[in-house]
Chains A and B, each alone.
Chain A
């Protein structure tokens, strides 16, 4: 302790001391889960008050407005948001997280109702504006603090598919007898919109692999809506029970179908006629006839359909997926009679030939819609030349789309888009993004498909355009 004298007060001492103020801060269970979710899942979660519908971020245990206990009401919010206010820190101090000058911004994340404070970097201070879109950059090394979001940066400007589609002319079909000839000649019509399908669930993708795979009707509706928003015109659905098992129960499938239609009335729903392992032909078909979706899958050959370790070749699950000629014929007839457009699933060239052979009975109406499926253990792996061979074998007016299991997904859809075909993505086929990170949901893969279309200059089909192209009528 020392003393000093101030000028003009020579008769008075000022005693100088120093305070040590160590302290500990307790985040509580709610605050801790907020941090660990950011740390482990790179996901930002808030809590939603069921009484006043406010989504709080950061989350809190109690809604301060109505005193509702909301500690269990977790909801996902987006990693992107809007700057609602900001300040420029212009002095350096030990407790500050960055060297001055830097920006502390109040950011309202998309999906949250309250703003929270974080560092805004990767842009000039003069460029920071209230209302600017920003996105979270997660820290490479965790500190178990809010700095597990390292900072926010300006979000890449992304104009939505729907905004683009609203400004362009709607595609109209032109009667072009030689579509197939042009394709074969390497001159596909790149002005034709590309239909993006999201296969939301499949029968085998489970929540323990990826939590965003939908089980309940409400989850399907939410996922379908996100995919539609991102640019998908169609969703492919294997309905599930609450516990995750694929179901053939009409009531559950209908509930799932209706929930999607309620949330997202425009989207085309393609129901599976495969359903899942061990289902009988009757179980597989009767639900299609009962619900009459606009589109349903039609599988074309009996084949191995198992689970095999891709590295060691070890067989985990051995299963024969039965699709006899009689079944293909009966399924195809029943679909066409009920106004359900078949999506003809070809796991190899033989399947395509099977469909063509049965098709001589005059079952299928034009245009026929094919889906080339790659990478099933039991079907063919993706090869560019196989793709071209299959495309060249199509009937004149046929459309084709494609999907690939696992790492086949993005290469095969890109090839399809180049060749004038359509694209299917989704967690049924692949749970990852091109960089190997888990996808946040099927919608994030739809965003990749949209980027592919944008880069190739192909418009993304609206739901109306998709119906025109595939020859289906809206229900």
Chain B
């Protein structure tokens, strides 16, 4: 059984900034204002129509406390109910879950979720790792910068195949990002560059190379949620939120002393199993038409595919090698270019939901999947090991 809802909730408005490493022209509220204005325009609403604002970003990344208060100039939350959420990298996905819950509960009819990050202003490492002391059991945290997945895939499938799969994934993401006008990074890479990139891209940790890593971006994303009645009144193409799930597990994540006896990356697997089981989805790979995955690095992405879809053996690598995850393939992953393409962290996981919803609406733009999208999946990742998954539907028929 999917979790119980008092009423259905649909996405009726989406706005995103162009994501970039250079936004010297705006301050934080001004950046947010861009996304909020676009979402209101998309929904054909004004701030008067919004009942509640849910604000989220990474704590400390911009060195501002209580940003929800300061950002009112951009969020439009003056005189409205406003809630701040911060759950690390998943915050954007949690914004979506919270907005869904707040609307489904009957508390608010229209809720606006705003995810935002201006990494150019702050000091990410200051926010994550400064208080770490691994020798006192405060384990070091370098965000997404870990080589353990690369080590894992490499050991199982051999260095050559592992490296080529990772770079194939990376280049597919680059090609997708090239189609998405909001994407931060699109280099114009091609598959014939794989060998060069393996050889030349600087190594960060083990086999994790610079080219395989996500960016630091500035950007904001705004998504407007409405109850079924309002959604049908306001929008011709509301995208329905079927279900979402959050799973986390803090204590076993450690980058040294990696031990196969203590596998750590299992929250994705657990979350996906629970979500699909309670929604009666037996073959998720065939069920979903698109998957917007939170992919901080291509090594994690290729490894996580297996967890999300419960794939056996090297099925996940074959999906990549056969380019089945490209636009036009069996299950397109991240037509937006994904997190490797753009990563304004507080917005990143909300962008996954927003991009998946745009695919369902069929108006994503140049990166729209050519075949109909009826069922979409979005994931968020963060913290030491957090997973949030969201299922979106075109029709209210489940």
Residues on A facing B (Cβ under 8 Å) = 1, 15, 17, 19-31, 60-62, 64-65, 67, 69
Contacts and interface: CB of A to CB of B under 8 A. Distances in A.
B16 interface: no
Given A17-B130, A60-B73, A62-B74, 16 more contacts: A20-B123, A20-B130, A21-B126, A22-B126, A24-B120, A26-B26, A26-B28, A28-B26, A28-B27, A29-B26, A31-B27, A61-B73, A61-B74, A65-B78, A67-B78, A69-B37
Contacts of A31: 27
B120 A26 contact: yes
6 contacts: A15-B136, A23-B122, A24-B121, A26-B28, A28-B30, A67-B46
Contact of A61 (B29, B123, B130, B136): B29
B78 A1 contact: no
Contacts of A30: 30
Contact of A22 (B30, B37, B60, B123): B123
A61 B32 CA distance: 11
B74 A23 contact: no
Interface in B46-80: 46-47, 60, 62-63, 72-74, 76, 78-79
Given A15-B136, A64-B78, A67-B76, A23 B26 contact: no
Interface string B164-180: 00000000000000000
B244 interface: no
A272 to B, nearest CB: 46
Contacts of B121: 23-26
A67 B80 CA distance: 12
B126 A61 contact: no
Query: Which of the listed residues A61, A67, A69 has the most CB atoms from chain B within 10 Å of its own CB?
Result: A67
Contacts of B133: 1, 15, 17
B24 interface: yes
Most-contacted residue by chain B among A1, A20, A21, A28 (CB, 10 A): A28
A30 B28 CA distance: 12
A49 to B, nearest CB: 12
B361 interface: no
Interface string B116-143: 0010111100100011010010000000
Given A21-B123, A26-B120, A62 B29 contact: yes
Contacts of B60: 21
Contacts of B30: 28-30, 61-62
Contacts of B79: 65
B196 interface: no
Contacts of B27: 25-28, 31
B-side interface mostly: loop
A20 B124 CA distance: 11
A27 B78 CA distance: 21
A20 B23 CA distance: 24
A26 B123 contact: no
Contact of B72 (A1, A20, A28, A64): A64
Interface centre among B28, B60, B73 (most CB of A within 10 A): B73
Closest 7 CB pairs of A and B: A28-B27, A23-B63, A19-B130, A67-B47, A67-B76, A64-B78, A28-B30
Given A26-B26, A65-B78, A17 B63 contact: no
B283 interface: no
Contacts of A28: 25-27, 30
B28 A62 contact: no
B42 to A, nearest CB: 16
A27 B62 CA distance: 14
A69 B126 CA distance: 34
Contact of A19 (B23, B33, B131): B131
Contacts of A69: 37
A20 B126 contact: yes
A23 B123 contact: yes
Contacts of B136: 15
A17 B131 contact: yes
Nearest to B26: A28
A19 B26 CA distance: 28
B196 to A, nearest CB: 34
A17 B131 CA distance: 7
A377 to B, nearest CB: 47
A26 B31 CA distance: 11
A116 B123 CA distance: 28
A67 B72 CA distance: 10
Interface in B4-52: 23-30, 33, 37, 46-47
B70 to A, nearest CB: 11
B374 to A, nearest CB: 35
Contacts of B123: 20-23
A54 to B, nearest CB: 12
A1 B132 CA distance: 11
A26 B70 CA distance: 14
Contacts of B33: 61-62
Contacts of A65: 78-79
A354 B87 CA distance: 89
A29 B34 CA distance: 14
Nearest to B27: A28
A60 B33 CA distance: 12
